[in-house]
Amino acid sequence: MRDQQRLNTVITFADNVLKEGRGRTGRELSPLFADGIDVRKKEPVTWRFPGGREAVMSNLASQQNLFRTFVGLSRLTGDEQYENAAKAAIKFHFDHLQSQCGLLQWGGHRLIDLRTLQVAGAEEKNGMVHELKNHFPYYELMYEVDPAATVKYIRALWNAHVINWSSLEISRHGSFGLKSSRLWAHEFRDAEPFSEVSGLSFLNAGNDLIYAAGMLYKLAGEKGALLWLKRLARQYNKARNADTGLGAYQFNQARKVYHTNDDSNTHSRFGDRAGRQFGPEFGDAALEGKMLLEAQASTVYYENTLMQLQLVSMLGEVVKELADWSRQGLGAFLKYGYLPERNAFKPMLTDGTDLSGYALKRDGYYGDKGAIIGQFPATSKFLLSYVRTFIQTGDVSLWEAARSMAKGNGLGDMGREPGVDDDLDFSTPCDDARALYAMLDVYSKFGHSQYLEMARRVGDNIVSRKFHFGYFLPASNCKYANFDAAEPLALLALQAAIEAKQHCVPAFIDGKGFFHANVEGEDGSIKTWKSFQLYKETI
């Protein structure tokens, strides 16, 4: 496939989003975009709330990869319409939808109904709280659009999600309408890991706080933000197991304030959910912050790693410890969890206890009684994590791990070291954007053309296997296209590398835009859903 053909698919995708993905106010096109589209009916994705009310989903936090794609396409081709469209959507939010306290109407539990431009969301979440979890907004573009509003938002993010500054107790759910606090002027007294608190320090929420503070320091020079991002990152590092170095998904635990005998009720007010479900067998080794099942391992060793390395690449020596902590963490995960013969990871407790094949003894947060905990594959996202950490730190053990993972994902042998004794498999069917980025990163750092050729091959597979109806879909029979797909951004990064214009395309840190709320089925039943599931629907 010619390079121009791959680029043309991105142009077609972007043109279709501009044409079919925007709302209307009367006869006028709205500057806001839907989150996705029914690719056959050309209708925007909707969410049916309990009671039958439907909203056309427009969640700015679920469009950040899309906006990175728009900006990269404009800067690579010179056609400014795409970047201008992204800026117009952001400007509309700042001008009309930013709350007085500074928070935006977006994230895990809030969105805008594109038909009415009214806020909609998960009312069951204490009145549609604010939430970011591994979203990683495109703050550079937001700052270009409105510096003051961007600064106000990031300050409001920390103000809303830090419950106790002295111990850095945080919550994934933030309240709207709070008055500004002392922020960076607060006292900090530190706290011992796994203290009992009311706010749960999920790393996927902590990641966004750390990233936002780093961007505030980069964009506006706020030294207080730098200080507190390092303090928060250190809390997670302190909570790693002292013997294995594994963890940590949380650095505290839920305070038990009520009692229940119902194991299926997993609200945190009844105490640490891992402790309830695993504690009788494993004692204090089993807390939520000490679980490394697939979801937690992904947040700790992929999303957190990519985010921290991105801050290191932007901020340099002032956050060099983030790279060291990433290297140490991936090393521990490799030592205790990786099974090279299967290219898989063990599900574990952070003390190294292997939970492979473990049958749950009771109902709970991690599954129903009798469910079996399985090992999980070392997919291309872990390959990318190990590649980037090797490039940043030079730790050769991480290259060896990446080499094994590349083989396990059908990419062939990356070599004893970059460019030495490699034997890449150019017949690979791999179509994962993260594998493309792994190859591009090696090429951009070390300059060996075979890695660029492998990125081309993965890019060709993406186009032939995932580009349908003018959009990027996991499979041709999928009902909805998610505009925030990673594939078009990856193809742009590939073209930029081919043209030696890597600076034109925004960095990929794999933000996970999503919406999470109760939804009403066609039969009237109510269930809790995430928008990820919507895009898995097939015809």
Which element (helix H / strand E) includes 498?
helix 487-498
Tell me what pLDDT residue 265 has. Answer: 83
CA distance 342 to 54: 45
Domains, the chain: 1-123+469-500+518-538 (no CATH), 132-342+344-377 (1.50.10.20)
CA distance 502 to 504: 5
Nearest to 65 by CA among 397, 491, 534, 521: 491
pLDDT mean across residues, the chain: 96
CA distances from 447 to 3, 163, 434, 444, 452 (A): 19, 47, 19, 6, 9
pLDDT surpassing 80 at residue 129:
yes
pLDDT in tens, 161-209: 999 999 999 999 999 999 988 999 999 998 899 999 987 899 999 999 9
pLDDT in tens, 261-304: 888 888 888 899 999 999 999 999 999 999 999 999 999 999 99
Average pLDDT over residues 233-251: 97
pLDDT in tens, 478-506: 999 999 999 999 999 999 999 999 999 99
Tell me what pLDDT residue 362 has. Answer: 96
pTM (global) more than 0.85: yes
23 phi/psi in degrees, rounded to 5: -80, 175
Strands of the sheet containing 43-44, edge to edge, are 43-44, 36-38, 480-482
pLDDT grade for 117, boundaries at 50, 70 and 90: very high
CA distances from 11 to 5, 43, 159 (A): 10, 21, 40
pLDDT surpassing 70 at residue 26:
no
CA distance 142 to 220: 12
Q: Any idea which of 314-328, 445-459, 521-535 has the lowest mean pLDDT?
A: 521-535
Beta strands in 298-389 (DSSP E): 338-339, 344-345, 348-349, 376-377
pLDDT surpassing 80 at residue 215:
yes
Which element (helix H / strand E) includes 183?
none
